[in-house]
Structure 1
Amino acid sequence: MEVNNKCGSNLPKVIWKVEILKVVDVTKSQSEDVNGQVTKVTWRIENFSRIKDKKLYSENFIVDGNKWRILIFPKGNNVNHLSIYLDVADSENLPYGWSRFAGFRFAVIDQIDRTTSIAKGISTHEFKATESDWGFTSFLPLSELKDPKRGYLVDDACLVEAYVSTDISYVLMVQTDSDKHKTEEADCVKAAVDDQKTVSTEPIEITTPAQTQPSCQIVAIEPEDPTEEDIKTFFTSLESELSNSDTVFSKEEAKEALAKLDEALSMTPVDFYDSGKFSSLKQAFKILASFDCSSTTLSAEQKNELLAMEENLKDQVDRAVKAVQDKSRFTEKESIKLTISRNLDLNLIRYKEVESELKQVEQKLAALLAERKGIFQGSKEMKKELEALGKEWAEYEGNAKAAEEEERSVEAEWGRMKDFISSIKGKI
């Protein structure tokens, strides 16, 4: 199907978006019409390369009344990969013994070529107090994430999708109206990047058209094109039919299948898990299990071992991944414990310093209080003395005036006596 695009410019970027999508149980007949819901979260992380924090939480979002959030380690959770997990946002406030189940899928979107986007999922996991987050420690190698030839970081922004559902009773297939045609936003961004007209079977909203900008007009030239539901239902049915067929495989195909298994087992269980190649090994197991052993040196016991190996391989990989996650979680908690212990040591030292300073302050305060009391008592006595003087002041003032008159009288008499003695000096 061709799509004609007429895109506006300067489209604002979606930073956070939560959608409720329609899902269909493809294991049931269409007549049963079994439907459910899955919550899709689009998280655009700006200035990704400048994030200093070891881990980063998204905003909270609600699925069936429960709070969730996305947890990422931008520089890896002790690995050279982007680490990403689904986390119970309010785990610390939940009652003792709580647990909840959820299935989820993460995707880091290649914003240049969506077909190379990385997606990994877990069909169901039980979240509880000891495992409040779960996901992928080695989701995407950091070297690939930062590769300028890829589109995982465009304008230093990383685009993460999460699909979460708590309905785990059947296989879910995401189906929205936008699955039939690429969304306006995705068309605009794609056209702006490579100036090509392309169709994506699984669109992602990475921009939202502003109301003041002309929107993209999408015209389906071939309206009879199959929908996503038609395509996925067909191949699901085809897989079931082929798995029950009596296909005869050649010796060369058996050798190739063995080579794939040998390549997978040469990897560590965790690296194999992160490679996402487990589904491709199903065909290899099918070939070896169906291969006629009579013309080879492969014994019946070896064939039986191969039949049991597929499930055992998956179990070993899951156990290895869980072990890595548990070790990583222990390392994280150990770091937190060390930080808290160091902070407590610092607090203890500061507490003793404050206690010493407080004693000095108390001693000085006691001295100041004593001095203040002495000042008060002295001032009180002086005030009483002043008040007593005030009462006798008129008497003292009158006496002083009388004394002045007496002094003048004495001085006058004294002068007269002096003058008399002087007058008789010549006569004697």
Structure 2
Amino acid sequence: MEVYSKSKPMDVNGQITKVTWKIEVLSDVHSKSMDVNGQVTKVTWRIENFSTIQDKELCSENFTVDGNKWRILIFPKGNTADHLSIYLGVANSSTLPAGWSRYAHFGLAVINQFDRELSIAGVTTQVFDVNGPDWGFTSFLPLTELHNPKRGYLVNDACLVEAYVFTDRSIGFISHELIVKTDSDKLKTKECDCVKAAMDNQRTTSTKAVEITNPSPTPPYCQIMAIEPEEPTEEDMNTFFTSLESKLWSSNTIFSREEAKEALAKVEKALNMTPVNFYDSGKLSPLKHAFKILASFDCSSTTLTIEQKKELFAMEESLKELADRAAKALQDKNFLTEKESIKLTITHKLDRNLIRYKEVESEVKQVEKRLAALHVQVEEAQKERENMLAEGKEIFKSSKEMKMELEALEMQWAEYEAMAKVAEEEESIVLAEWGRIKDFISSIKGKI
């Protein structure tokens, strides 16, 4: 395995953001379970101070795969979507010659720094050309998930992005399983341990952010440097209030009728949202307190039964689960929409090529007639004919490649449609359960 690694500061909207950059060529990648055997280029891009970045788009440094230069593009705040958007692009695409194209099988991932197997990864194949130099995923990871400190995608305000690129058409090596499970870098587990150690240490004392680079074998893999107490970080405050919330939840607080009515109103307001809108609103935490008030409220004539209280406690978790399932169902439906967009783009290109090919074919016939009639200009006309035929061959070659890609996409079309159908059924189940909970809350409203 060949490795190139470096760390340098990057000026992003007037702030110095540290970037750790590493390129690996995974030679003879092999796994019996994954049936992988070949060569994949892996790029690791670690960006610190991620939440402070205001730029709409970030571009990585260029890296070379099989003689072609590539780059990673990310939109930290989303590209016309409330998701992190990420793409693989051809570097210096404006200087590419006409007719240039290159096939790539690639995967892009945002690594979960708590548990690598929970990383978000997308894998696809694409023919890059002058008209389509950037391909990837617009709705890759919800921004609410990305910035949730409990999820593990931003740790110490650092985001870890990986790209896997393979340009041989013979077989598809890259998969989600390869990205999250291939043991190509033994340091990953140790790096994750360092990050977790840093977070545990921050619960009792302020620390400097842990810097994860590519260390030599002899020094320790990471080091946490304690400094004098300073202003609390956002993570310090999140940890404190999470602990406080747990303590208050377990206390036996007595709530008034007014507080119970206010809590009921909050629950009803949340249930009037769709599950997906509730998921995006981030209002689960205040709703937990509202459920606690309803379950704990005690008035002689309106005391809830033990079974009703138990169901209230269970509903708080049920709402979160239903919202998560609805968001996942929406993401699966959007996946089909994205594939439809790719299919439409390829179809339009084929239409244009077909029209142009017929034009070339007609022009060739006209030139042949001129050759028969204009003996004086035979040599010049012959040269023009050869140029026309050469263009026709290029069109035929690129059309054949795109037709093969279109046929491969259509072979999997039933799978994409089935996925969308399952997502729609799941959405219906979620809405039905959501309505049941809403009806139940309405039924106990008169008792509060």
TM-score (norm 1): 0.44
Q: Which has the higher contact order (CA 8 A, sep 6+)?
A: 1
* Larger Rg belongs to: 1
TM-score (norm 2): 0.42
